[in-house]
Amino acid sequence: MNNEPNVCIVGSINMDLTVKTDKMPMQGETVLGDTFFTNPGGKGANQAVAAARMGANVNFIGAVGEDAFGKTLLQNLTNEGVRKTGIETIPDVSTGTATIILSDNDNRIIVAPGANNHVTPELVEKYRDLIKSSDIVLMQLEVPMETIEFTTELAETNGVPIIMNPAPFQQLPEKVLKNISYMTPNEIELAAMKEDPLFDFIQEKLVVTRGDKGVSFVENGTEQDTDGYHVHVTDTTGAGDTFNGTLAGELARGAELAEAVNVANAAAALSVSKIGAQGGMPTKQDVQRFLQ
Ligand code: ADP
């Protein structure tokens, strides 16, 4: 087993801006809302925090803007032990944000990618050594598609396995599907993927998260199902991110797929028992205690 597992994430860093309101404003209407809060987010950053809490060395290739959110988010990653060598601060661009309007029966979200659109193939090329020296590369679909194509090819050429979390869902080109080792959709993303004529390329690489029903995955050509762990559900935000970050950390450590899936399934279950995306992510000790 590898005691110094190295995970490299190429992905997004966002500030989530949430306002709670009793009444969703109509077109042209202003309403008085309830509370407002900010939380570090972005699928890339969330998954990096999950992997770091599980004890992996995590490098990140990404970008923030030259603004207050960027500073706060970089500090947050430092506090979590995520290495920032590959994160650049882009002048005259805003940090990525997700503006979330939350009411009892309706959520509305606008993502402004900002600096995440500056995670270019050139940026990845600049930090290619971080990819070459990692045991696994983990990606999501919140950075430009050309960067996804470039990174998956670079990793594949260097013999580094890739986990692709296809969220938010977009169709992926054939060469990306061929280069990745694991594809981790949730059930909604899987349904969209089945419409794709290239679905055959990834059937053997699937690790499907099924909410409280657990995880299905393919090992040596055989489909296996792992039940979800029973927990008291408090907040399911970030469950998928916890699963992916943990899975990456465990596979980087050298765990077999079934073992890595079991640990990630447990970590994700623990995360839904607590509030917040990053806030609810467990540490390695929490997961070990839970699995004892
Ligand atoms: P996403 O958060 O991307 O929609 P899922 O809902 O499939 O993804 O959740 C990801 C993983 O989180 C699941 O495979 C499971 O391991 C865990 N999980 C999610 N919801 C629950 C739940 N209610 N109880 C136990 N585990 C859960």
The three-state DSSP-derived secondary structure of the chain is CCCCCEEEEECCCEEEEEEECCCCCCCCCCCCCCCEEEEEECHHHHHHHHHHHCCCEEEEEEEEECCHHHHHHHHHHHHCCCEEEEEEEECCCCCEEEEEEEECCEEEEEEECHHHHHCCHHHHHHCHHHHHCCCEEEECCCCCHHHHHHHHHHHHHCCCCEEECCCCCCCCCHHHHHHCCEECCEHHHHHHHHCCCCHHHCHHHEEEECHHHCEEEEECCEEEEECCCCCCCCCCCCHHHHHHHHHHHHHHHCCCHHHHHHHHHHHHHHHHCCCCCCCCCCCHHHHHHHHC
Give the per-residue pLDDT at 107.
87
**Active-site position among 196, 225, 241, 286:** 241
Give the per-residue pLDDT at 156.
98
State the distance from the centre of ligand 1 to the C-alpha of 85, rounded, in angstroms.
31
State the distance from the centre of ligand 1 to the C-alpha of 56, rounded, in angstroms.
22
Q: What is the pLDDT of residues 109-127, one digit of tens each?
A: 999 999 999 999 999 999 9
State the distance from the centre of ligand 1 to the C-alpha of 211, rounded, in angstroms.
3
pTM of the model: 0.97
Q: Which atom of ligand 1 is nearest to the CA of 215?
A: 14
Q: Which atom of ligand 1 is nearest to the CA of 242?
A: 12
pLDDT in tens, the chain (292 residues): 777 899 999 999 999 999 999 999 999 999 999 999 999 999 999 999 999 999 999 999 999 999 999 999 999 999 999 999 999 999 999 999 999 999 987 889 999 999 999 999 999 999 999 999 999 999 999 999 999 999 999 999 999 999 999 999 999 999 999 999 999 999 999 999 999 999 988 999 999 999 999 999 998 889 999 999 999 999 898 999 999 999 999 999 999 999 999 999 999 999 999 988 899 999 999 999 999 9
> Is the beta carbon of 252 within 6 A of some atom in ligand 1?
no
> Is the beta carbon of 235 within 6 A of some atom in ligand 1?
no
> Is the beta carbon of 229 within 6 A of some atom in ligand 1?
yes
- Please indicate whether residue 241 is annotated as part of the active site: yes
Please state the ipTM of this predicted complex.
Answer: 0.99
> Is the beta carbon of 240 within 6 A of some atom in ligand 1?
yes
> Is the beta carbon of 86 within 6 A of some atom in ligand 1?
no
